[in-house]
Chains A and B, each alone.
Chain A
Amino acid sequence: MEISVSHEQGREPVTVLRMKGDINRATADQVQAQARQAFEAGARNIVLDLSEVPYMSSAGIRVINDLFNLLRGDSAAEMDEAMRQGLRDGTYKSPHLKLLNPTRHVQEVLNMAGIDMFLEIHGNLKDAVASF
């Protein structure tokens, strides 16, 4: 598993974590540690680039959920009524974490766990960065 970190500037500064390799029980801890490191270094808007992740197990879902909670925890004050309504209606999407270009298999895993119900999935980096 290789993870590279880059920075993009849209309306907001965006950190891009580009994964290369399977995310499974053997590599999940490494991905989680790197994501947490990016958060601790100040990243508050993160794009997970999954274009080179051929396989993801439930361990990958755990990592994405952990990162989602980390970024959400930082914005607890944003929990206004509109957001609560969005969550109830199923229209809420995280403003801080976006996914980029998952492979077909990974897309299926994301759908299965319902991750796509609260995380936006973008087809290219430009759109992902502009969405923050």
Chain B
Amino acid sequence: MSVGVSSLADQRQPVNESLLGRVPLFASLPGSEIHHLAESLRQSEIPAGTLLFREGEHGDRFFIVLEGQIEIIKAMGTPEERVLGVRGPGEYIGEMSLLNRDGLRTASARALTRLQVLEMTRADFDALLHRQPTLAYEMVRVLSVRLRESQNRTIRDLQDKNRQLAEAYENLKAAQAQLIEKEKLERELQLALEVQSSLIPRATPRLAGWDFAALWRPARVVSGDYYDFIPLHAEQDAPGWGVVIADVSDKGMPAALFMVLSRSIVRASVAHPLSPAECITQANRLICADATGGMFVTLFYTALGPSDGRLTYVNAGHNPPLLYRADRDQWSDLTRTGVALGMLSMCKLDQRVIQLEPGDFVFLYTDGVTEAANEQGRRFEEDNMRRIVHEHRRAPAAEIVSAVEREVSRFIGDNPPFDDITMVVAKRVS
């Protein structure tokens, strides 16, 4: 609230004539006029923080500052609020509403400090101008200075606003460009996944006497895991199949690229009419030549004779697949026969041979299964996986794979999978 007439009138003090003579507005007035003003003006003391008047109110007086400082505020209390200026001793405020036809305050005024002011009512002001018309020149001079200041400030404010708008526009443009780039990257990642998915067999081989199942579930968009079924030496009388499961040591796009490289090299290497150990030893040499950055791939490869049930395998540092023997209802592990591929270029890999009888199967997996973690950070562990595979040992291959997948999903709950999960089952049924 602005202060009322009565509240100021209570603090009215006698006006000192010599003080009046030092006010620039009155400097040119004759002594008789100063004496008259001293009688008619009121001097008031106003505490700091007091609102003298508010923009838009009707104004019936103006103030001459003797001591202290007053700030002139436009659009007070709104987001557009700004201080037009600060008036100090010798200056006056509130004259605009006395000159304006509508008599409304054009800005608000607030005491920055404790004030000593002189108040002049509209009637006194009109009478003074009648008596001393030359005073109007002095007021016009001050008015024109204030107008120029106000215009300059308005232009500066407009320029500031313009600059802020231009900056905001630039920021918006940059954010939009980032968004477009992000969408582009996501599209590219999606395309990478499509390319990678196309390298994973669409279906398992259909071979008389055999039941195959496989699962490939990338944890992120792309994967470092893969499995493969490769027809071998189709030109021979008894063509075989190569079965691969592999896990690249890293994650994300580098692992995905390394996976694609490894897959191609292994495919090309096993096409040679050599033993599986020789083929994978050759693949290792080629992978090592390209394995910059310390990446490697653990890989299990087995050549499978569909007619005789013979599996000749190479385990290059991969989690040992489980072998189930139906006649003895027993399990064993197909342990490593050499180092993971990409570690040592000249190392030798060995092979082993096993014979699958009807009811026997091998269960291949990557450590995404056993290391799947729940929200408490506990791992699924190999024992759980072995138990589930054991419980489903007489079920079709697809059921074994889906049972493990189901249990892993239930175990991790809402925890996002960290690692890719891949499984392959090759079961001899007759």
Contact = CB atoms under 8 A, between A and B. Distances in A.
Interface string A62-88: 100110110000000000000010011
B249 A118 contact: no
B415 to A, nearest CB: 14
The size bracket of the interface on B is 20 to 34
Given A111-B336, A112-B319, A114-B336, A87 B298 contact: no
B249 A61 contact: yes
A58 B343 contact: no
A108 to B, nearest CB: 10
B298 A90 contact: no
B317 A112 contact: yes
B347 A90 contact: yes
Contact of B343 (A57, A65, A84, A90): A65
A57 B367 contact: yes
Contacts, number: 65
Contacts of B418: 25
B371 interface: yes
A45 to B, nearest CB: 19
Interface string B330-373: 00000110111001111110000000000000000001000100
Contact of A114 (B249, B250, B340, B345): B340
A68 B296 CA distance: 13
A62 B291 CA distance: 13
A113 interface: yes
Interface string B284-313: 000000000010101000000000000000
B424 interface: no
A113 B344 contact: no
Contacts of A118: 339, 343-344, 347
The size bracket of the interface on A is 20 to 34
Contacts of B318: 112
B340 A61 contact: yes
Interface-central residue, B320, B336, B346, by most chain A CB under 10 Å? B346
B296 A65 contact: yes
A94 B253 CA distance: 31
A114 B319 contact: no
Nearest to A89: B348
A66 B291 CA distance: 12
Contacts of A58: 247, 249, 298, 367, 371
Nearest to A58: B367
B316 interface: yes
Given A61-B249, A114-B343, 13 more contacts: A25-B418, A58-B247, A61-B340, A69-B294, A87-B344, A87-B345, A87-B347, A112-B318, A113-B298, A113-B317, A114-B336, A117-B347, A118-B344
Interface of B: 247, 249-250, 294, 296, 298, 316-320, 335-336, 338-340, 343-348, 367, 371, 418
12 contacts: A57-B371, A58-B367, A61-B317, A65-B340, A88-B348, A90-B348, A111-B336, A112-B320, A113-B298, A113-B340, A114-B340, A118-B347
